[in-house]
Amino acid sequence: MTVDVRPSPVSVTVRGRVAVVTVDHPPVNALSGPARQGLLDVLSALAADAAIAAVVIAGGPGRFIAGADIREMNAPPAPPLLPDVVAALDGLDKPIVAAIDGPALGGGLEIALACDCRLASPGASLGLTEARLGLVPGAGGTQRLPRLTGIAAAIPLICGGRILKADEALEAGIVDAVLDGDLLAAAVARAPAVAKRRLSAQPVPAGDEAAEAAAVATAFKQAKGLPAVEEAIALVRAAGSVPFSEGLARERGAFLKVRESAEAKALRHLFFAEREAGKVPGLEGAEARPIGRITVIGAGTMGAGIAIALADAGFPVALIERDAAAAVTGAERVRGLYDRQVKAGRLTVGDAAARLARVAASDDWSAVATSDLVIEAAFEDLGVKRDIFRRLDAVARPGTVLATNTSYLDIDTIAAATARPQDVIGLHFFSPAHIMKLLEVVRGARTAPDVVATVLRFAKKIGKRPVVAGNCDGFIGNRIYAVYRRHAEYLVEDGASPEEVDAALEAYGFAMGIFAVSDLSGLDIAFAMRQRRAATRDPAERYVSIPDMLCEAGRLGRKTGAGWYAYDAAGKKAVDPVTTGIIARARAAKGIVPRRFTAEEIEQRLVAVMANEGAKVLAEGIALRASDIDLAFVDGYGFPRLRGGPMWAADQTGLARVLREVEAAHAAGGAGSEPSPLLVDLARRGETFAQWRRP
């Protein structure tokens, strides 16, 4: 017999005296309103059905329940609430088995925790992931999980939003068994014999106070200003000292509080931004080309990192250098990067060896002829890159995607060196390429839609977050970053010290300030860029010579032991009187009387100029949407996630206020710092970047 409650996404199939409740809400069985109502209706019916002896909750093959519908988080809570559904599960006077064959995350795991038995397939994954969105579990997760794992183990799981594999969940005591084969059939067979075992009625097991204190300390250290973590710690600890009902009430209050926090809203913005970034107009009907073998041209720092990213994803990689000696050096560079991961415990020796075996370094270009994708990662010089693309054009077979890893250079000029500009695209990896998530996908004027579709699919396969950009100097990220750096230098020339600027940025949430980052990457990179642009620089643009003076003095950053800061043998930075003297001389040469800046003034100025240049990037069509700019800066430039990105941060400040700051920045910087007409228009109308849509 089948009882179907559709159009609800929840259905019931009766097998003997066991009711199988299936949530079928593609693609991930999110707990949206219809799913919650369906579960509540079914549980009410089953409670009154004397013919049903036990219940199995399932999500279909390869699925369970992946968690809340995040789209509902930006609206007032709508009944029935998830705690209502969990309470109905807890109150059902019949044994309930959760058959977890896929992700049981967030609210999905809270559903499972309200069951009396949890069975998992080997491919299942479980976790209370709310902290990733700046939230705490809101349907009993902070109170039930500690009753299974103990407080010391529950704190890192909840505060870190960690996702456990099935065997890890078994070891932690979260699931009762991991079963191969037909999980649903096994759950139905076991259900009648399962005893009622409500976690709400069980005590929290006694724990080790030292282990609990250590877990709390680690969670606070890793919280990085996220209010939800402090709330979660308090809730988990309370599970061991207050009645269950009081713990639930505290949890619900904390959930509603942090749900409205600025940090949670910023993280939700980024959650949706990640999903929007893949929606690229003009790709309708474009079919991605198959990618099997890949060649990387250039085995320097960037090329080696790219090769590792590809090998880690399972691709065979030909790593090509200019001669045999350079190829040997490149192979050693790749080996060294893998050795570091083994030493750090991130890879086993066997895994590193298997991945290393996928990379073949040589000076033999014949591999290009059998490659589906070629990624040029040579020195950032237009002539060098055009020479390489001429050679690729002669060797690569038709249909091969030809990508350049340029950070600034004109994609169309590079593509013009070939007879197939439709196959040329920019793939701007960020260093270290095997670690950084961002991949800027740069379309040329003649790049074919199927080439864009190909690299978007490829990016996901290698674990990158692609953001599509148009072709201009610096694309999205480096174009805006150049303005950010330039205005940081204006602040220094006008009176702030490099350490004051960096301290303000770090207080704002950046892991490192801009001058410390410059020292890390090397001051000579930006110096070369400035020299390249010197002939075309607007004479009305203010120019700060301090970084040039540092480079001319041989102070190129960490690699030379001195740049904006001085560095000891261990790489620890310190304020350097030599830099202070160079800055003082530069100010004196221009007759600048230094003034003081507060940390707030520094933060406001630098975020405002980033948003202003971002507005120009939007208006020119270089970025598809404001949220793409936010993703680029969070994933590629260290902009704090809890601030949501420069465009989101500007929206939260209010664009009228941002415009006033940009006008002050224009007065300080001259040409190139003018307020964007788009910013002016949005500020005048009281609108935001998030609301703006391309006409």
The distance in angstroms from the start CA to the end CA of the chain is 55
493 is catalytic: no
Q: What is the DSSP track for 179-198?
A: --S-HHHHHHHHGGGPPP--
Number of neighbours of residue 236 by Cβ within 10 angstroms: 33
Q: Label residues 584-607 b or e (16+ Cβ within 10 Å = b).
A: eebbeeeeeeeeebebeebbbbbb
Backbone angles phi, psi at 59, to 5 degrees: -125, 10
Residue with tokens 């949706």: 272
Choose among 675, 605, 607, 676: nearest CA to 647: 607
E strand residue ranges, 226-348: 294-297, 317-320
Whether the ω angle into residue 27 lies within 30 degrees of 0, i.e. cis, is yes
E strand residue ranges, 264-372: 294-297, 317-320, 359-362
Contacts with 488 (C-beta within 8 Å, 6 or more apart), sequence order: 501, 514, 515, 606
Active-site entry in 72, 130, 489, 552: 130
The count of C-alpha atoms lying within 13 angstroms of the C-alpha of 584, restricted to the half-sphere facing its C-beta, is: 6
231 is catalytic: no
Whether the ω angle into residue 432 lies within 30 degrees of 0, i.e. cis, is yes
Q: How far is CA 401 from CA 261, 288, 661, in A?
A: 44, 11, 44
Burial of 369 by CB count in 10 Å (0-12 exposed, 13-18 middle, 19+ buried)?
A: exposed
Whether the ω angle into residue 80 lies within 30 degrees of 0, i.e. cis, is yes
Backbone angles phi, psi at 601, to 5 degrees: -65, -40
Active-site entry in 110, 230, 321, 489: 110
d(CA 465, CA 458): 10
- Starting at the edge strand that comes first in sequence, how are the strands of the sheet with 359-362 ordered? 359-362, 317-320, 294-297, 373-376, 401-404, 424-429, 438-442, 465-469
DSSP H/E element including 376: strand 373-376
Contacts with 535 (C-beta within 8 Å, 6 or more apart), sequence order: none
DSSP H/E element including 14: strand 10-15
d(CA 638, CA 255): 28
What own/partner pairs with CB < 8 Å and gap ≥ 24 does 238-241 have? 239/142, 239/143, 239/146, 239/147, 239/151, 239/154, 239/204, 240/146, 240/151, 240/204, 240/207
d(CA 310, CA 475): 24
d(CA 69, CA 392): 47
Choose among 64, 2, 87, 73: nearest CA to 33: 73
The angle, 0 to 180 degrees and rounded to 10, between the axes of the packed helices 227-238 and 244-259 is: 180
Given a contact cutoff of 8 angstroms between Cβ atoms, the answer to whether 437 and 462 are in contact is no
**Residues annotated as part of the active site:** 110, 130
